[in-house]
Amino acid sequence: MTRTATRAATRTSADRLARLLNLVPYLLARPGIELAEAAGDLGVTERQLREDLELLWVCGLPGYGPGDLIDMAFDGDRVTITYDAGIDRPLRLTQDEALALVVALRMLAETPGVDNRDAVERALAKIESAAGDLADAPVAVRMPDDSTRVEALRAAVQRGRALRITYYTAARDETTERTVDPLRMLNVGGRAYLEAWCRRAEAVRLFRADRIDAFTELDGAAVVPPQAQPQDVTEGVFRPSVDLPLITLRVGRGERWITEYYPCERVERGEGDQWLVWMRVTDLGWARRFVLGLGPSVTVVSPPELVEQVRARAAAALDAYATVVPAAAGRAEPVDTH
Amino acid sequence: MHDPNGWAASVLQVSRTRTERLVNLVICLLSTRRFLTAAQIAATVPGYEHDPSDARDHEAFQRKFERDKAELRELGVPLETGTASVFDTEPGYRIAHREYALPDIPLEPDEAAAVGIAARLWRHAGLATAASSGLAKLRAAGIDVDPQATLGVEPMVTVDPAFAPLTAAARDRRTVHFDYRTPDGDTPTGRRLQPWGVVCWKGRWYVVGHDLDRGATRCFRLSRVVGAVRPVGQPGAYTPPADVDLISHVARWSGPVERSGRATVLVASGRAAGLRRWAQEVHTGADGDRLVLPYADVETLAGRLVGYGPDVRVVDPPEVREAVIQRLKEIVARHEELSTPGGQA
């Protein structure tokens, strides 16, 4: 056998050993469970499960006689462990398992808008106490957000009705009214989002909760068309596609931070302390506001129309300052500042 | 198996006999109170048969047994070593059931559902495997986890590669070395840190600790760590300050700012929606709308206002107006040379 085959065998065997040591107590706790149900629960195929049971059947206490081996009774497609040979409990949690569960529960407890936070906190306390020292994870989580607003939105989504939202779209710098059919609420990178079918765009859209300036629940139920699928946000909320306009910026030291906050296609070292940054943008108008707002050390290299737009907008603004701003006039309007 | 070389078949066969041997080893060591020596185990557990008088055969057994012990330990099986009596010279092995078994965790259905949801958070991140094997153990302990349950908001968790080594180092109180690159630096610099803990703040990960080179408390963003995090020296090398509040060290640098300044800007009607939703007051006039904006820092506000170009004009205060004009001049100057008629970008 080759070295890789040996390694593969070791890995397969380690995974399988963990599974088998779990399988006995799992079945012990569920006498007469259907094989299909157990397989589904354990994430294996029914065939795999049968092979696991066959293997366990020849394992047992030293002596390895009929009374020493793990035993089970089959009743059609149902199985019951009748002798466990001493593996009556699962193995305790490893350090990594305790860390993974405890930190995930802390994240959940900190996520603004989460329902039944109380259950999350109770579960956390119990897992921590069961894992003992292992749960002493040196990991702290805090996700500050406007949780009252997110909670209200989540509750509305759970009631399953269509929503009328007032939404600010940063890409176009406009506020619009839309009717949406909610799919789910998400928290990505510490920000809350509503994922919904947008009747106006006729597509699934992610709406940042802090940009939903107002919402009302409609009388009708949310109707999500069958073609509406939740988006894969594992690589981030904004995944620029290649058909979006590509812009190139020359970025000085003070503004290099943008490469950490915006997805960049390429970053190269330029002259002196400058970097050349390539980005895909949904909208050149957004790119114009973005570049103008960045500050003194960013220059557009391409496309030429963006160079010209940035120059022209800045020049027009300067011209406006050359004229006198009229004294304040008009009436005051109260503004609802959330 | 449709494998012409029988490779997969042989992998499965080796793995099967190996798994069988290991299950029997665990059962045997769980059932014994006495420490069993390697020789006693070889004589008992199927799969270790060999001729101890044959040096090569014996050596092969020892290697096999060492590998098996390592595998059990890696799996988290608490393998105890000791001697059965003072007359024994060879070490023996056993597994204490109390140490082996997961303690009883009396989870209510809603708590179990929460754990199931928590375990899924990592589905795409580093700790996914550990979370699902942990959950499998809870299920094996008789806990039923409702796979359909939701808590209304699904957090998506991603962690940087430095997360695992830094949490391990903080847990073991072990000094680490890593290269760290900030966007305003040109080359990564080596850092030596005694990590106290890892913090997730607003969806980003940080490590807080005592920076040995600066001789001060520092926090570092995990996404800026370049390459491997290497442990330096022994575990237990330091003690983090008592009652250290990790969050406060991170929040200090990126916490909320107080917007005590007030600026008045004139906005063309129907424009600058982004500014309007942030305004404290709006006064509608014939020449546009006057917005009162709260702000903390002149330059930050200036940048934001410049973004709107001629749609926004600063009325007051003068320092904001000056900052905006200064920025506009620089932008025009820098882009003028690039956008000369017929010029190439």
CATH code for position A40: 1.10.10.10
**Does the beta-carbon distance from B283 to A330 stay under 8 Å?**
yes
Q: Which domain holds residue A289?
A: 246-321
Strand-pair partners of B263 = B293
Pick the residue from chain A with its C-alpha nearest to B30. Answer: A86
Please state the rounded mean pLDDT for residues A285-297.
Answer: 90
Q: What is the pLDDT of residues A127-168, one digit of tens each?
A: 998 887 776 778 988 887 778 889 999 999 999 999 999 999
A239 part of a folded domain = no
pLDDT at A337: 42
Smallest CA-to-CA distance from B309 within A314, A288, A287 is with A314
Partners of residue B246 in chain A, C-beta under 8 Å = 138, 140
- CA distance to partner chain B, nearest, from residue A331 (Å): 5
Of A120, A136, A155, the CB nearest to B114: A120
Q: Look at residue A148 and tell me if it is in a domain.
A: no
For domain B7-100, give the CATH number: 1.10.10
The C-alpha atoms of residue A79 and residue A38 are separated, in whole angstroms, by: 10
| CA B172 remoteness from chain centre | 16
Beta-strand relationship, A174-188 and B153-156: parallel
**What value does the mean pLDDT take over residues A23-30?**
97
Q: How far is A311 from chain B (nearest CA, A)?
A: 5
Q: What residues of chain B, 239 to 298, have a C-beta less than 8 Å from chain A? A: 246-247, 251, 256, 264, 266, 272-274, 276-277, 279-287, 289-290
- A322 interfaces chain B, CB cutoff of 8 Å: no
Q: Is B107 on the interface with A (CB under 8 A)?
A: yes
Model ipTM value: 0.85
Taking only the tens place, the pLDDT of each residue in B239-268 is 999 888 999 888 876 656 788 899 999 999
**Mean pLDDT across A89-96:** 93
Q: Which residue of A has its CA nearest to B201?
A: A142
Determine, for residues B119 and A140 on separate chains, whether the beta-carbon distance falls below 8 Å.
no
* pLDDT grade for B345, boundaries at 50, 70 and 90: very low
| Residue B202: HSE in the Cβ half-sphere, 13 Å Cα cutoff | 11
> Number of C-alpha atoms within 13 angstroms, CB side, residue A8?
12
Residue A330 pLDDT greater than 50, yes or no: no
Nearest-CB residue to B274 (from A41, A56, A170): A170
pLDDT band for position B2 (cuts 50, 70, 90): very low
Per-residue model confidence as pLDDT tens digits over B273-307: 999 998 999 999 888 999 999 999 999 999 999 99
Full-model pTM: 0.84
Question: What single-letter amino acid sits at A258?
Answer: I
Contact A90 B10 (CB under 8 A): no
Summarised one tens digit per residue, pLDDT across range B155-179 is 887 888 999 899 999 999 999 999 9
The domain limits of chain B are 7-100, 103-158, 163-254, 261-336
Domain boundary among A188, A205, A221: A221
Q: Does any CB of chain B come closer than 8 Å to the CB of residue A176?
A: no
In words, the CATH class of domain B261-336 is alpha beta
CA distance B165 to B222: 11
pLDDT value, residue A154 = 92
Tell me the CATH class for B163-254.
mainly beta
Q: Which residues pair with B101 in a beta bridge?
A: A91
In the block, residue with structure tokens 């290991």: B22
* Residues in a beta bridge with A34: A78
Q: Are B184 and B248 in contact (CB under 8 A)?
A: no
Total domain count for chain A? Answer: 4
Q: Which residues 47-76 of chain A have a CB within 8 Å of chain B? A: 55-56, 58-62, 64
- The closest CB to that of B155, out of A108, A123, A144, belongs to A108
A61 shares a domain with A99: no
pLDDT band at A331 (very low <50, low <70, confident <90, very high): very low
Establish whether domains B7-100 and B261-336 are of one fold: no
Q: Helix axis angle, A95-110 relative to A117-131, nearest 10°?
A: 160
User: Which of A62, A137, A168 is nearest residue B273 as measured by Cβ atoms?
Assistant: A168
Q: Is the peptide bond before A225 cis (omega within 30 degrees of 0)?
A: no
Residues of B in contact with A295 (CB under 8 A): 299, 303, 327
Residue B126 has pLDDT above 80, yes or no: no
Residues of chain B by 3-state class (helix, strand, coil), percent to 5: 40, 25, 35
Tell me if A234 is assigned to some domain. no
Which of B153, B171, B256 faces A113 most closely, judged by CB atoms? B153
A303 in any annotated domain: yes
Closest C-alpha among A119, A194, A234, A185 to residue B123: A234
